[in-house]
Chain A
Amino acid sequence: MKNNKTRLRAKSGAFLAGVGAIACAAFAYVLMGMKWPVGSNVGYSVNANSAKVAGELAAVQSAAGSWSAINPSGFRLTYQGSTSVTSESCNGQNTICWENQGASSTLATTYTWYSGGTILENDIVFNEAQNWSTSGGDYDVETVALHEMGHVVGLDHSNSGIMTPYYSGIRRSVDSDARAGFVAMYGGSVGGDGPARDLPPSVKLTSPAPGTAVSGIVTVAATATDDIGVQRVEFFSNETLMTRDTSAPYQYAWDTSTLFNGSFTLKAIAYDTIGQTAQAQIAVIVLPHAPRNFSGIKKNNSSTLLEQYINVLSWEEHEKNKDIRGYRLYQRDGSDWILLAEFDAQTFVFLHKNVDKRKTYTYIVKAVDAGDRDGDGAGLDIQ
């Protein structure tokens, strides 16, 4: 967009003829005289920075979906993620944000950059000073977004439907007049008021099972479906984006070895081709990590007159363990593991007395979390 400034030409005569609003006799829609190229998949980013309402992103996405559903092959608006931009700017990005524009009658403003009859960029700025709502009160975000996106596609004000200039209550579908205007520019079927929608996707986390205690490398998997198509699935661990997967099977290898033990929320968000989303989440427990530096040696107990051997065992805490209740030491007995001793969280040494001088002993020590769950074990053989 910036580069366009360097190629300014004195073409305004031809241009002005192109921007005049064009009314339609059969329908009440009015075209601005500029539009996106037919077939455009216009990406937009949202700074959902309104402090006055929750769910504004979903409302904006729903409005975009209503326009995109008219003729997805002719034009669509696709959510491309969040942005930190807080005001309109000629920066090559289509941005939607909230900015406090003070007390005025303005609910939202659309900035349309164009060249000739072609739209180059749109920014929508909602006036944060107004009382916004997504649940039926005051000014409905989706209604206003639907109107402003009408300008984004190239519609001017008209005398009816969503493109009237004044707010008159909630209206969350594209009326037949506005739809006809869209179809005139981008093709598709006019149909009736309230078009069939591109339904949002669905997603389910299939692995691990909810509440599972996990450790090491864990496969996190999800299934996602959509009536038109799944664009991607994003996986989060405690709100941190772990990966984006754009093709099925949707999964990734979650490495828990670098995390503190404890409770984690795993979330998957599926996006369809127009940016509608669905999410699923589960809670899992990351088990304590194996204690560090588990070591031992067999010694002759010189404090007694008899020949008596002891195995001296020691370990250290793992730097990624927290809220550890204590440790458990297990000894192999044939094919079984038997609990040899339990310790508090500050004990790191154990003397296994009266051991057989000629026998090999196998031990495992595990940290125990606050929920009395054994963590990963550190093993040791002493001959």
Chain B
Amino acid sequence: MRLSKFRKILRLTFVAALLSAAEAVMIKAPLSDLVEGAEAIVLGRVQSLQCTWSLDQSLIVTIVTFKVQEVLKGPVSGPLIILQIPGGLIGDIGLKVSDTPSFRQDEKALIFLKMLKDPNSPKNSHLAAQNSRSAYEVFERAQGKFAIDEAGMAEVSGYELPYRDNKAEKPLPLTELKTKIKALLRRAPSSRGKSHEK
């Protein structure tokens, strides 16, 4: 099926609504590793979502257009960036990829970013290839995205269900999260290993 037809379908289906929660086994990445390893950290809002096939037609990816409102670590390419997330839904065919963060239309989020590696790769989308200078992915997948709710609470959104009962991972105020990030940014980069704690 032609890509243009995909786009037409996708506009109709307004795929935006939901990418499901992630699953897989990971190593716990502490906030310090996220801050140190991310190329950029931004706060903003999801403007749109669009699912498409990768250039080689082997994967479905979701392109999240994200409006940047504040840059905590940067620089970033501009006020509008795109995030490519593996997985998505096109018509009645879906791909669910473990560790991927979830995004919702108009959702406010704080995201740890890295530039999308090799945007012209066949595994990436034509949208990433066309916007290679503003194409990012979420650093450390689901662990690198904090959803911000209306009350201003930040929560890692990739693991909604398991996090709910985990005291160490309960939501925290956005202001507190930003303060922690800024404090970590003021530290000199170190060569810490990853924490393997659960």
Residues 147-158 of chain A, each 1 if its beta carbon lies under 8 Å from chain B, else 0: 110010001111
Residue contact A158 to B161, C-beta cutoff 8 Å: yes
Residue contact B26 to A167, C-beta cutoff 8 Å: yes
Q: Which of A16, A87, A113, A115 touches B17 (beta carbons < 8 Å)?
A: A16
Q: A15-B89, A157-B21 are in contact. Are A164 and B95 (CB under 8 A)?
A: no
Residue contact B93 to A4, C-beta cutoff 8 Å: yes
The yes or no answer to A37 lying at the interface (CB within 8 A) is no
Residue contact A151 to B23, C-beta cutoff 8 Å: yes
The prevalent SS among residues of B at the interface is: loop
Docked Cα-Cα span, A111 to B93, in Å, equals: 13
Docked Cα-Cα span, A112 to B96, in Å, equals: 5
Residue contact B93 to A115, C-beta cutoff 8 Å: yes
B53 to chain A, nearest CB (A): 8
- Count residues of chain A with CB under 8 A from any CB of chain B: 56
Residue contact A106 to B24, C-beta cutoff 8 Å: yes
A365 to chain B, nearest CB (A): 63
Residue contact B92 to A11, C-beta cutoff 8 Å: yes
- Count residues of chain B with CB under 8 A from any CB of chain A: 49
Q: Which of A11, A16, A20, A157 touches B159 (beta carbons < 8 Å)?
A: A157
The yes or no answer to A159 lying at the interface (CB within 8 A) is yes
Residues 14-51 of chain A, each 1 if its beta carbon lies under 8 Å from chain B, else 0: 01100111010000001011100000000000000000
- For this complex, 17 residue pairs linking A to B, each with C-beta atoms less than 8 Å apart, are A9-B91, A10-B13, A11-B92, A12-B17, A15-B92, A16-B17, A16-B89, A88-B58, A105-B141, A112-B96, A114-B95, A115-B92, A148-B98, A156-B161, A159-B166, A165-B162, A166-B28
Chain A residues in the interface with B (C-beta under 8 A) = 2, 4-13, 15-16, 19-21, 23, 30, 32-34, 87-91, 104-116, 120, 143-144, 147-148, 151, 155-159, 163-168
Chain B residues in the interface with A (C-beta under 8 A) = 1, 6, 9, 12-15, 17-18, 20-29, 33, 53, 57-59, 86-87, 89-99, 123, 140-141, 143, 159, 161-162, 165-166, 194, 196, 198
Known: A19-B18, A166-B28. 16 other contacts (CB 8 A): A5-B53, A8-B93, A12-B13, A12-B92, A21-B21, A32-B20, A90-B57, A91-B58, A105-B143, A109-B98, A111-B59, A112-B97, A113-B94, A156-B23, A158-B162, A166-B25
